[in-house]
A = this chain, B = another copy of it.
Amino acid sequence: MKEKINRIVSESEEQFLKEYRQEKYEKPSVAADIVIFTVTEGERVSYRRLPEKELRILLIRRGGHPFKDYWALPGGFVQSDETVESAAQRELSEETGVRCDYLEQLYTFSTPGRDPRTWVMSCAHMALIDSDKIDIRAGDDAADAAWFKLAAREMKGKTILSLTRGGLEIKAELKRAGRPPDYEIINNTGLAFDHAKIILYALERLRYKLEYTSVAFHLLPGQFTLTELQQIYEVVLGKQLLAPAFRRKMTPLVEETDIFEGETGHRPSRLYRKKSDINEKDS
């Protein structure tokens, strides 16, 4: 290590400059945006087989410019008497009526020009909610808020995000540019701002967390069958899992109830609940 070069500016002067900069310089608006995940049941194909699950996120149709009629993540500006997480929680409750028990800050997106109007950073969050708990204003077709089915597939180094809801499909194609969450949007048919990046990053994080924490339980009601839990994993990870290995891995995290699912046309499955001493691990 080389020797210190004597500073030309004194400490107090430097301090003054910092405070001056803070007073006079432009400040950004900071928005808290949220990727709200839930898993819903799809079509029932047979009276015996459990319906397939679908991974969904909530999007809001923009009423004004820019990106008029594009779909955006729910969110809003942070106020000075709250944390960014509180702001996210507030927006989430307004949109879904749920006081979410799993909300996590993901990343602050700050590329200059990401909002064409003015300087806005987005502090992105991810929330997990049980679809049974949703008191949603986003059910019908007339709404400006709707739950879109989310699917992602890899192709030649690119990722294609597909968001569908009834007949409507929104697609975005992204490429990794460094470590996540650095992606490049190659094309995008209906997502506002850089929200395609935020959604992809949230999905990657969710997949990652599923592997080494117990966050999946937040996507289910208090009691569930192990097959349902496995379906959650399968729909989020986008791949099939082998039941024996899955059950072995989950056994230490859950405890049996004495309740069984009936009228199934086959051996009834036991309901389990999350063990109370299991907490999520760190990020």
Task: Pick from A19, A78, A117, A283 the residue with the most CB of B within 10 Å.
Answer: A283
Q: Are B104 and A105 in contact (CB under 8 A)?
A: no
A interface, over-half SS? loop
Comparing A135-143, A163-171, A252-260, A263-271, the segment that makes contact with chain B is: A135-143
Identify the closest chain B residue to A17 (Cβ): B76
A2–B143 Cα gap in the complex (Å)? Answer: 12
Question: Does A228 sit at the interface, judged by CB under 8 A?
Answer: no
Q: Of B27, B135, B208, which contacts A2 at CB under 8 A? A: B135
Of B1, B76, B110, B179, which one neighbours A136 at CB under 8 angstroms?
B1
As for how many copies of this chain the complex holds, the number is: 2
Residue A205 is within 8 A (CB to CB) of chain B in the complex: yes
Given A123-B108, A137-B5, A139-B1, A27 and B28 contact (CB-CB distance below 8 Å): yes
In the complex, A63 Cα to B14 Cα: how many Å?
8
Q: Of the 9-residue stretches A79-87, A149-157, A234-242, which lies at the interface with chain B?
A: A79-87
B282–A112 CB distance below 8 A: no
- Known contacts A15-B62, A29-B27, A123-B108; is-contact A180 B283 (Cβ 8 Å): yes
Q: Is the CB of A282 within 8 A of B108?
A: no
**A180, B139: Cβ atoms closer than 8 Å:** no
Give the distance to chain B from A58, nearest Cβ to Cβ, in Å. Answer: 11
- CA A111 – CA B138 in complex, angstroms? 31
Instruction: Annotate A67-90 by CB proximity to B: 1 below 8 A, 0 otherwise.
Output: 000000000111111111100000
Interface size on A, residues (CB 8 A): 69
Contact B282 A179 (CB under 8 A): yes
CB closest residue in chain B, given A68: B15
Point out the residues of chain B lying under 8 angstroms from A62, CB to CB. 11, 15
Point out residues on A near B: beta carbons under 8 Å. 1-5, 7, 10-12, 14-16, 18-19, 21-22, 25-30, 61-64, 76-85, 104-105, 107-108, 110-112, 117-121, 123, 131, 134-140, 142-144, 179-181, 204-205, 208, 280, 282-283
Q: Please list 8 pairs of residues, one from A and one from B, whose beta carbons are closer than 8 Å in the complex, sorted by A's number.
A: A11-B61, A11-B144, A15-B62, A27-B27, A27-B28, A28-B30, A30-B30, A204-B282
